[in-house]
Structure 1
Amino acid sequence: MTPALEEIDLDFADLGRTGLQTSELQLGTWRFGKENEAGELEIGEERATELLDAYEAAGGRYIDTADVYGGGDSERWIGDWLADRDRERYTIASKIYWQTREGDPNSRGTNRKSLRHRIDALLDRLDTDYVDVLYIHRWDDETPAREMMKTLNGLVESGKVHYLGASTLRPNAWKVARANEIARNEGWEPFTLLQPRYNLADREIEGDYLEFAREQGLAVCPWSPLGQGFLTGKYDREEDLPEDSRVAASSRFQESYLTEENFALHDELDAVADEVDASPAQVALAWLQHREGVSAPIVGARTVDQLRENLASATIDLSDEQVDRLTAAKEGPYDDL
């Protein structure tokens, strides 16, 4: 039985070597204000507020957004919600990279002009003086790393940003290492957080990426911890996908997740879930929280009930033997984490 929100009481986790402590699970808000293919909002403002309230009720204090989520609505709604609360009690992370103004190439990337304009715009939407974490949403190969790091350092020195992070750079950890070397040589603020895709089925970052993060003391805050819904058990190897399914038209999703290897992994996930009287989603999230070097995975949900189930993963106690079984259920070039 999934506990009530008030009974979950999320613990605090260290964010690498930043010295910052915040909730062990983050609330992801990428669906806030997002329109589906039919032009309908996946999560409107009223539902967004309900989800923020539910997350807070479970002890949650770490909210992840981006300046492009919902065309800026995600940040605006978070800002409205924060207005009646003590801002200092919450960790807010946002991201910058994707183009925000049609026809304006300078509204994309991490060049000086883009970064300086967009930080002011997102702070205005959030109605706050600073963000705790600012991520570059993707790597900008058109902007020299030195220029980017100098500009980002200026945002930290101005007090508009506390910590810097890099999102979705799994094959390119060397770029973060190079940028950090430049920053440290100049006495600038380095990247201290990483935000890759990582889950029980998608283990690409295991090996050099996680080893690099661990040795450098970088916090790893994974997104897509449930493999776009695959690890919830909603897909069956024996059943055809509905024709109107979002993933039916996605060859990448099918090739990445709907494989016999992953369904065999899911069999083990289901077995462990039965043993601990939890859902597959809760066990998949609990496994991720047992991985060395992982800090505060990002969980999202469409409904309060879904969010409650996901947050309750923090109450699941997996044994070392169960963690090892889940880890070994899929072969790959993994390190000894």
Structure 2
Amino acid sequence: MTDADALDLDFVQFGGTGIHTSELQFGTWRFGKETEQGNVEIDEDRAYELLDAYEAAGGRFIDAADVYGGGKAEEWIGNWLAERDRERFTVASKIYWQIRDDDPNSRGTNRKNLRHRVDRILDRLDTDYVDVLYIHRWDDLTSTREMMKTLNGLVEAGKVHYLGASTLRPNAWKVAKANEIARAEGWEPFAVLQPRYNLVDREIEGDYLEMAHSEDLAVCPWSPLGQGFLTGKYSREDGLRGESRAAESSRFQDAYLTEENFDVHDELDAVADEVDATPAQTALAWLMHRRGVTAPIVGARTTDQLEENLAAAAIDLTAEQVDRLTEAKGGPYAGL
């Protein structure tokens, strides 16, 4: 296994923004998240331990959303940042999901909701600005012109530096249209995209990645390990029989525990053995070798898991190994 102790994450160009981001970003979606049993996946003390471990590895990009943990994720990040030089970190958050019962205006990207929620984000983070503000989903009820004008106003007010769009697969045309409107009006366009992308979820290959490349947009994928499927914790026998720990989720079963995906995992295991790494590290390394990908977003429940994931940055795959993994599902599409 690649040694995480000596790891020092590099910086990579963040699309056409002129700034740089850590080659692996840290996602905080489990901070304060309650399970169906009423347990908290990552409590406050563990959150600080994880942030410490990420910082120790040289990580400087922290990804959040205003709904993570009902706002707790941002509060804890703000507390943690208070003891550090804020300017050394890039912080992102997201807005979309409804936050107040019986209030339809507390959802989406309408002007009222965006302006109100950005102020609450800044309060929780205890900062004057966020480096990146994502729309968490596309809002078909709000006109694209209203959304882009409002987002531009947040940039002009100094509350936001750059704009991003999360989870718009496969609607590349919506981003292109929004950026066309923004540039025609002299407004700030989207600078970064955050899609789902990993060895078995390949829906963004083609038009989406090509659009991002043509627009010089950063691409920072979430779910790089396929909701845990690519870590190797699900066996083919139990998974296909519906007897794995994930069998109670029919959605996960149908999406991941398939013959085709286990075939991909077989190739992943073979390459992992060749480079003396874990399947999770190898899956992340493949993603980092994909042209058009800027920096995957990783998360973990423990510091050991996080350090394992971050160590993927030290794995150097050959072109032949990248091609084998690429061709294991969906044919030989080589990217851009």
Distance (Å, rounded) in 2 between the aligned partners of 1:281 and 1:335: 21
Distance (Å, rounded) in 1 between the aligned partners of 2:256 and 2:68: 25
Deviations along 1:140-193, one digit per CA (max 9) or x if unpaired, are 011000000000000000110000000000121111111111100000000010
Amino acid at match of 2:110: N
* SS class of match (1:95): strand
* SS class of match (1:239): helix
Amino acid at match of 2:56: A
Preserved CA contact (<8 Å) 1:207 1:335: no
Q: Tell me how far 1:332 sits from its aligned partner.
A: 4.5
The alignment yields a C-alpha RMSD, in angstroms, of 1.4
Q: Tell me how far 1:107 sits from its aligned partner.
A: 1.0
Preserved CA contact (<8 Å) 1:231 1:266: yes
Q: Could you tell me the TM-score, scaled by structure 2's length?
A: 0.97
Distance (Å, rounded) in 2 between the aligned partners of 1:67 and 1:2: 34
Correspondence for 1:73: 72
Amino acid at match of 1:3: D
Matched ranges for 1:61-100 at <5 A: 61-100=60-99
Distance (Å, rounded) in 1 between the aligned partners of 2:161 and 2:171: 24
* SS class of match (2:164): strand
Distance (Å, rounded) in 2 between the aligned partners of 1:200 and 1:191: 26
Q: Tell me how far 1:3 sits from its aligned partner.
A: 1.9
Distance (Å, rounded) in 2 between the aligned partners of 1:149 and 1:263: 42
Deviations along 1:267-312, one digit per CA (max 9) or x if unpaired, are 1100110011000000000000001110110000000000000000
Distance (Å, rounded) in 2 between the aligned partners of 1:72 and 1:332: 41
Matched ranges for 1:250-269 at <5 A: 250-269=249-268
Which runs of no fewer than 5 residues in structure 1 stay unpaired? none
Q: Tell me how far 1:105 sits from its aligned partner.
A: 1.3
Distance (Å, rounded) in 1 between the aligned partners of 2:264 and 2:205: 17
Distance (Å, rounded) in 2 between the aligned partners of 1:47 and 1:114: 31
Which runs of no fewer than 5 residues in structure 2 stay unpaired? none
Q: Provide the aligned length of Structure 1 versus Structure 2.
A: 335
Correspondence for 2:178: 179
Correspondence for 2:37: 38
Distance (Å, rounded) in 2 between the aligned partners of 1:336 and 1:194: 16
Matched ranges for 1:104-253 at <5 A: 104-240=103-239, 245=245, 247-253=246-252
Distance (Å, rounded) in 2 between the aligned partners of 1:319 and 1:32: 36
Deviations along 1:78-112, one digit per CA (max 9) or x if unpaired, are 00000010000000000000011122211111000
Correspondence for 2:46: 47
Preserved CA contact (<8 Å) 1:207 1:333: no
Structure 1 residues 54 and 317: CA distance shift in structure 2, 3 A: same
Amino acid at match of 2:125: L
Correspondence for 1:294: 293
Matched ranges for 1:7-26 at <5 A: 7-26=6-25
Is 1:29 aligned to 2:18, yes or no?
Answer: no
Structure 1 residues 335 and 286: CA distance shift in structure 2, 3 A: closer
Amino acid at match of 2:175: V
Identity %: 77
